[in-house]
Amino acid sequence: MDTDLLSIEDLSVVIRRPGREVAALSGVTLRVGRGEVVGLVGESGGGKSMVARSIVGLLPGGSLASGAVRFEGDDVLRMDDDALRRHRGHGAAICFQNPRGALSPTRTVGRQLTDRLTTHQRLTGAEARKAAEEQFATVGIRSPRRRLDAYPHELSGGMAQRVMISLATGCAPGLLIADEPTTGLDVTLTREILRRFRLAADTDGRGVLLISHDLASIAGVCDRVVVLYAGTVVESGPAARVLGRPAHPYTRALLRSVPDVDGRAVVATPGAMPLLKAAPRDCPFAPRCAHATAACTSERPPVSWVPGAAGDWTLACFHPRTDELAREEPAAESSGRGGAAKEPVLEVDDAHVVYRSRFGTGGHAALRGVSLRVAAGETLGVVGESGCGKSTLAKLLLGLVPAARGDVRVAGSRMSALRGRELRRLRTRVQMVFQDPIGSLSPRRTVADAIAEPLRALGLSAARRAERVEALADRLKLDRSMLARHPHELSGGQAQRVCIARALAGEPDVLVFDEPTSALDVTVQAQILEVIADVVRDPARGSVFISHDLATVRGFADRVIVLYLGRIVEEGPVEEVFGNPRHPYTRALLSSAPSLGDGFSGPKITLTEDLDDTEAAGPGCPLAARCPFADDRCRTEEQELRPYGNTRAACRRVPEIPDLLKGSDIRV
């Protein structure tokens, strides 16, 4: 234990508010060594962020903490103000979940980093700017001198997260705490950001505490994993063992809730985490556990070694299991519903969307010649990196942005041919389920009002609206008492159920899901995915499922299109595209997709350049600047979708790629 950089011992935190108390942490013990990456995982509300706050001495007002949080031997809980300031500058630093929210919007990112360097490292202005430029380059920010003068809103999500890493590591702290650092990022950025944390441990000897609910993403970079539930540690040990052969029922439930790119089934865990007023006297997971006995509900299981396991692997459970998780999982079912071809409910033909410059010159082509078709009873998946045009496509389908060229038809009616009331009525036939459920609901309206909103637009009477709202609440498993609540009184999962109910209210022809689960933790995500699976089975309705989460798309879609810089580069049946990708970009996405199982098989392609670091697409292939197989013809000739078996791909070199890939993975 003397070699540990961080040692937390029996940490308990009670948050006192007028009229109530919350036991945020109860007897938490964990450690992080130098050069080690430790994952802290669990659902939202489990206490992960409270552990991070304890390490840097930022507990909320009214908190009462006991136990010890020792950093290099000094107890953070007993540090005075001066010692805490030094600790936050040189001891431990946090990378926050929302980088843009954590960065000042009124100052350049370079100024924010140089201020930290001049304060904590006593550098002059010129020295700090040079050091900041070097720091940006170290974390993979290209053109670092130019980026120093950028404001947060001018950066992509991945670039902003790299700036946060620079701010956290700029003063050379011994411990780096990353609190949900990849939430909302696409697969290639997630892989690169996590690689930076692994490098910080391997090359700089830092300790890293990686807080996340995304188990698949962090599995490959963590040395050890600590699982929190209701403020208690339920399992802790080597990452490969805990995630490969979990012993605690809660860890097993978490892992079964994670979609995987290999197509295995997702199993949701019923119920929700309790909000405890005091340290638990029994097993807090017992009400949700299929293996619970009378002992589980009468006493708290002690922390003990996993039976038959060697090394540092502990858990708190009366009924541990260490058999392979895969043996108890149901086999994945094919998402395709097949059947006879049906009439299309949504058609897009050669659509181009251009965002004009505010100053009247130039513009940005967000979509270039996109064509697609969705039949009744079919789900179309749309995947690609951030910035590829997915959200613009969603806006186009809803009629929120006009097509500069091309057509959008809903149930045979052209959007561009309609105006006024007719256009508004047509728009009600395409409904959206948004990424941020609470943000998409009016804070002044009740749940009942929100669900009834499309019904008012259709002119239904108050009585019929109330009847329809109650029926939808029952279908979405929302207690009718929630209909009188406002959005701020809902959890993320409840709010997303409300949004799905609102989208279904007007019985639309098409539902568009835009990253519907990316803001939810893993167990709530699994519950919402079950709801969506039920909704998309409707044979009279088509669905478009937009996501950067390839595993989720594979579980829902019948067909999939892959977007890159506003162009479709591959399309076809989801099992064909994911099982045998033809286009190099599709293979690169699948190669980067996190997996708890075998993941994507076959040779892999890793793209090291960011999408926003490449120049705007010219006449040639848009991927040419990042593609390991690009030649002069690829850079100058436009690549059209060509048939390859049951799929189509915009790459003339598809027949050659299997031979080019033989024997090794490719990194560019």
Average pLDDT over residues 483-487: 93
End position of a domain, from candidates 311, 332, 353: 332
Specify whether 533 is located in the same domain as 633: yes
Q: State whether 261 and 317 are in the same domain.
A: yes
Whether residue 227 contacts residue 39, with contact meaning beta carbons closer than 8 Å, is answered with: no
CATH number at residue 367: 3.40.50.300
Residue 152 belongs to a domain:
no
- Residues 381 and 304 occupy one common structural domain: no
Among the listed residues 562, 533, 247, 244, the one whose alpha carbon sits nearest the alpha carbon of residue 393: 562
Q: Average pLDDT, whole number, for the chain?
A: 87
Report the pLDDT value the prediction gives residue 108, as an integer from 0 to 100: 94
Pair 484, 445: CB distance under 8 Å: no
SS3 percent helix, strand, coil of the chain, rounded to 5, is 35, 25, 40
276 lies in the same domain as 402: no
Query: Order of strands across the sheet with 363-375?
Result: 363-375, 344-356, 405-410, 413-414
* Residue 618, pLDDT score: 63
For residue 118, the model assigns a pLDDT of 87
User: Which range is least confidently modeled, 41-45, 173-177, 332-336, 511-515?
Assistant: 332-336
Residue 177 belongs to a domain: no
More confident residue, 314 or 660: 314
Task: Give the pLDDT band (50/70/90) at residue 301.
Answer: very high
Residue 603 neighbours by CB under 8 Å, 6+ apart: 661, 662, 663, 664, 665, 666
Quick one: pLDDT at residue 330? 42
Does any domain span residue 150? no
The confidence score (pLDDT) of residue 300 equals 94
Q: Is the pLDDT at 127 greater than 50, yes or no?
A: yes
**Whether residue 399 is found in the same domain as residue 512:** yes
| pLDDT at residue 338 tops 70 | no
Domain membership of residue 251 (yes or no) is: yes
Q: pLDDT value at position 17?
A: 81
Strand partners, 226: 40, 236
Instruction: Say if residue 299 is in the same domain as residue 420.
Output: no
**Rounded Cα distance, 305 and 429, in Å:** 57
Give the model confidence (pLDDT) of 421-473 as tens digits. Answer: 888 888 889 999 988 888 889 999 999 999 999 898 888 899 999 999 999 99
Task: Answer yes or no: is 605 within a domain.
Answer: yes
**Residue 349 sits in the same domain as residue 293:** no
Mean pLDDT of 232-249: 94
Res 85: pLDDT:
87
For residues 496 and 437, the answer to whether their CB atoms sit within 8 Å is yes
Q: How far is CA 21 from CA 53, 158, 281, 378, 460, in A?
A: 18, 38, 16, 49, 46
The single-letter DSSP state of residue 9 is: E
Tokens for 330, please give them: 């149901």
Q: Which domain holds residue 497?
A: 439-506
pLDDT of residue 331: 39
299: three-class secondary structure by DSSP: coil
pLDDT given at position 264: 74
Strands 559-564 and 74-75: unpaired
Percent of the chain with pLDDT over 90: 52
Closest by CA to 185, choosing from 41, 382, 385, is 385
Domain termination site, one of 332, 363, 389: 332
Give pLDDT, residue 33.
Answer: 96
**CB of 290 within 8 A of CB of 253?**
no
Give the model's pLDDT for residue 326. 45
Q: What is the pLDDT of residues 562-594, one digit of tens each?
A: 999 999 999 999 999 999 999 999 999 999 888
Has residue 164 been placed in a domain?
A: no
Q: Is the pLDDT of residue 261 over 50?
A: yes
Q: Which residue has the higher pLDDT, 325 or 11?
A: 11
Place of tokens 């780096």: 176
Provide the pLDDT confidence category of residue 1 given band limits of 50, 70 and 90: very low
Final residue belonging to a domain, choices 332, 361, 396: 332
pLDDT at residue 353 is higher than 90:
yes
pLDDT over 80 at 49, yes or no: yes
Q: Is the model's pLDDT at 51 over the cut of 80? A: yes
User: Nearest 5°: phi and psi at 510?
Assistant: -135, 135
Q: What pLDDT, in 10s, does the model give residues 21-31?
A: 899 999 999 99
Are 573 and 559 a contacting pair, CB within 8 Å? yes
pLDDT of residue 610: 62
Q: Do residues 576 and 648 both lie within one domain?
A: yes
Cβ-Cβ contacts under 8 Å for 662 (sequence gap 6 or more): 603
310 vs 463 pLDDT, higher one: 463
Mean pLDDT of 101-124: 88
Q: What is the 3-state secondary structure (H, E, C) of 260-292?
A: CCCCCCCCCCCCCCCCCCCCCCCCCCHHHCCCC
| Domain count along the chain | 3
What is the reported pLDDT for 609? 63
| Tokens, residue 420 | 């006024």
Residue 55, pLDDT score = 96
Phi/psi at 493 (5° precision): -65, -40
Average pLDDT over residues 376-383: 95
Residue 4 inside a domain? The answer is: no
Cα torsion angle, 326, 329, 331, 336, sign? negative
Over residues 334-353, mean pLDDT? 74
602 and 471, same domain (yes or no)? no
Closest by CA position to 548, among listed 184, 186, 261:
186
Do 286 and 303 belong to one domain? yes
The reply to whether 382 falls in a domain is: yes
Question: Does pLDDT of 65 surpass 90?
Answer: yes
Beta bridge partners of 511: 431, 543
pLDDT at site 359 = 57
Answer yes or no: do 426 and 522 share one domain.
yes
Question: Among 24-38, 98-112, 550-564, which stretch is predicted with the lowest mean pLDDT?
Answer: 98-112
Instruction: Report percent pLDDT > 70 for the chain.
Output: 93
Task: Tell me the average pLDDT across 619-642.
Answer: 89
**Same-domain check for residues 595 and 482:** no
Question: How many whole angstroms separate alpha carbon 585 and alpha carbon 564?
Answer: 8
pLDDT at 141 (0 to 100) = 83
* CA distance linking residue 355 with residue 402, whole number of Å: 10
